[in-house]
């Protein structure tokens, strides 16, 4: 895969986060996501319909997404971000995507819930 294809994949994921997670606009989901989206989170259903079920509930929590780092190689892109919910809970999240044919094909997520007030054994910070 070329550097330009990697850059295009990163750009698509950035736009997906801006539009869907930050603005709550799911009107262009067909552009971003494959119909046969393969979900690796055991609490969510496969496919675009599974994502729609998740995102509607998630958006009702009033998330504020602050991307710390977005990077990728070839068909894999990761997004490391701080997610602050309207109830004050702060989650540390890393989402990893495989893209296929210029669309999201598979996600994996790693979530550290409710990190506000966590006391660290060092001075490195959570983000």
The predicted-structure confidence for 33-50, as pLDDT tens digits, reads as follows: 999 999 999 999 999 999
What pLDDT is recorded for position 25?
Answer: 97
pLDDT by residue (tens digit) across 24-83? 999 999 999 999 999 999 999 999 999 999 999 999 999 999 999 999 999 999 999 999
Residue 126 counted as domain residue: no
CA distances from 84 to 12, 26, 61, 88, 90 (A): 23, 20, 9, 6, 4
Task: For residue 66, tell me if it sits in a domain.
Answer: yes
Region 97-110: what's the mean pLDDT? 97
Mean pLDDT, the chain, as a whole number?
95
Starting at the edge strand found earlier in the chain, the sheet holding 103-112 runs 64-73, 76-84, 90-100, 103-112
Count of structural domains, the chain = 1
Q: Look up the domain containing 36 and give its range.
A: 3-112
Determine, yes or no, domain membership for 121.
no
């Amino acid at each position: 895969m070329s550097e330009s294809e990697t850059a295009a994949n990163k750009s698509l994921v950035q736009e997906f986060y801006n539009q869907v997670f930050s603005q709550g606009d799911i009107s262009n989901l067909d552009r971003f996501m494959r119909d046969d989206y393969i979900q690796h989170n055991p609490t969510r259903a496969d496919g675009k319909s599974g994502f729609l079920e998740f995102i509607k509930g998630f958006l009702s929590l009033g998330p504020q997404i602050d991307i710390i780092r977005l990077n990728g190689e070839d068909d894999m892109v990761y997004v490391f971000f701080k997610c602050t919910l309207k109830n004050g809970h702060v989650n540390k999240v890393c989402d990893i995507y495989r893209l296929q044919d210029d669309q999201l094909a598979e996600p994996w997520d790693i979530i550290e819930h409710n990190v506000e007030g966590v006391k660290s054994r060092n001075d490195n910070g959570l983000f």
